[in-house]
Amino acid sequence: MAAALEILAAIPYDQILIQTVNGIVTGMILALVASGLTLIFGIMDVVNFAHGELFMLGAYVGVVVLAATGSFWLALAVATLVVALLGAALQIVTLRPLLGRDPLTTILATFGISLVLQNYALWQFGPVARKIQEPFTGSFQLFYLEYPWYRLVIAGLSAVIIGAFWLFLKYGTWGIWIRATTQDRVMAEAMGIPVPWVHTGVFAIGAGMAAASGVLFGPLVGVNHAMGLDWVLKAFIVVVVGGMGNLGGSIAAAIFISLLESYASIWVSPAQAVIVSFVVLISTLLIRPTGLFVPTPK
């Protein structure tokens, strides 16, 4: 009894609460990146290795627009729009002609795009990290921490974007077209759905969402040409753990993995906490390869 009480007393409740908040904040950003990725996979069977670079480019467009106009919100909107258009153009030029080919060709194509975009950013903006100033700097007391309000705003905004996207998928005409095309491409086409444009649209939406997360997350880390790498790796883990092509699963997996990493970093250094996501990934692949958050297929 005494031992049990001692263990209970030894749990750092304040840290756990702080890390819960942290985990949810990064989880929401990750969900924003991963939902585009999983949707693109679900509808086109394309594993988009350039997704992290769209995230990075979004952040850079944000930097440029912020420097020119001084408005963070304008930067967010412009970055989303510009990168969505770029995504549409990339899809039309490189992926549309490859549709229906071996998945390996699209992997190589998107990997190529990722290298081009990364080196373009390096050439254009140089190796020194840029900073995006957060739109406001207020903070509140969370135990011993001055917790910035901005972090909560990120989580809230990501949730709003994902929620709006979900409503669009559920009720919008294009949403129904997207879901129909995901389920049966050929039949969707026979029903008059312009499938090639649905693919382009989905890629553009995914790119825009990645860009938005880049701008939102920019103030927390530096913006540099390689910032997409970490994120796309994590987003891939989330997509696999959530079940390839499953939007709800990806969102749940993003929050789940971010929370686990946050909790792990109470006891080990944050760099080591990254191991947790890989452990989850490998266990998922071993035990439930269809994804943790997918109902067992019948």
How many other C-beta atoms can be found within 10 angstroms of the C-beta atom of residue 224? 18
83 neighbors 73 (Cβ within 8 angstroms): no
Based on the shown chain and the rule CB under 8 A, indicate whether residue 195 belongs to the binding site for other proteins: yes
Q: Is 81 exposed, middle or buried (0-12, 13-18, 19+ CB in 10 A)?
A: middle
Q: Find the shortest distance in angstroms from Cβ 84 to other proteins.
A: 22
Based on the shown chain and the rule CB under 8 A, indicate whether residue 194 belongs to the binding site for other proteins: yes
Nearer to other proteins, 74 or 180 (CB): 180
Q: How many residues bind other proteins (CB under 8 A)?
A: 18
240 neighbors 136 (Cβ within 8 angstroms): no
Nearer to other proteins, 135 or 196 (CB): 196
Residue 295 DSSP code: P
Phi, psi of 104 (to 5 degrees): -60, -35
For residue 209, what are the β-bridge partners? Answer: none
Type of residue found at 277: S
Phi, psi of 294 (to 5 degrees): -115, 135
Single residue of 98, 189, 220, 288 touching other proteins by CB under 8 A: 189
Single residue of 18, 162, 188, 273 touching other proteins by CB under 8 A: 188
Nearer to other proteins, 177 or 231 (CB): 177
Q: Find the shortest distance in angstroms from Cβ 128 to other proteins.
A: 48
Single residue of 142, 187, 266, 268 touching other proteins by CB under 8 A: 187
Q: How many residues does the chain have?
A: 298
Binding mask 155-184 for other proteins (x = CB under 8 A): ------------------x--xx-xx--xx
Q: Find the shortest distance in angstroms from Cβ 172 to other proteins.
A: 9
How far is it, in rounded angstroms, from Cα 161 to Cα 286? 33
**Per-residue tokens: 31:** 């969900």
Nearer to other proteins, 197 or 263 (CB): 197
How many other C-beta atoms can be found within 10 angstroms of the C-beta atom of residue 114? 21
Based on the shown chain and the rule CB under 8 A, indicate whether residue 11 belongs to the binding site for other proteins: no
How far is Cα of residue 103 from the mean position of the Cα atoms in its chain? 22
Nearer to other proteins, 42 or 87 (CB): 42
Q: 172 in helix, strand or coil?
A: coil
Single residue of 2, 186, 271, 287 touching other proteins by CB under 8 A: 186
Q: Find the shortest distance in angstroms from Cβ 254 to other proteins.
A: 22
262 neighbors 26 (Cβ within 8 angstroms): yes
Stretch that binds other proteins, among 153-161, 190-198, 250-258, 273-281 (CB under 8 A): 190-198
Nearer to other proteins, 130 or 179 (CB): 179
Based on the shown chain and the rule CB under 8 A, indicate whether residue 192 belongs to the binding site for other proteins: yes
Q: Find the shortest distance in angstroms from Cβ 189 to other proteins.
A: 4
Closest to 175 in 3D by CA, of 39, 80, 37, 77 = 39
Based on the shown chain and the rule CB under 8 A, indicate whether residue 127 belongs to the binding site for other proteins: no
For residue 148, what are the β-bridge partners? Answer: 139
Single residue of 68, 167, 190, 285 touching other proteins by CB under 8 A: 190
Tell me which residues touch other proteins (CB under 8 A). Answer: 173, 176-177, 179-180, 183-184, 186-196
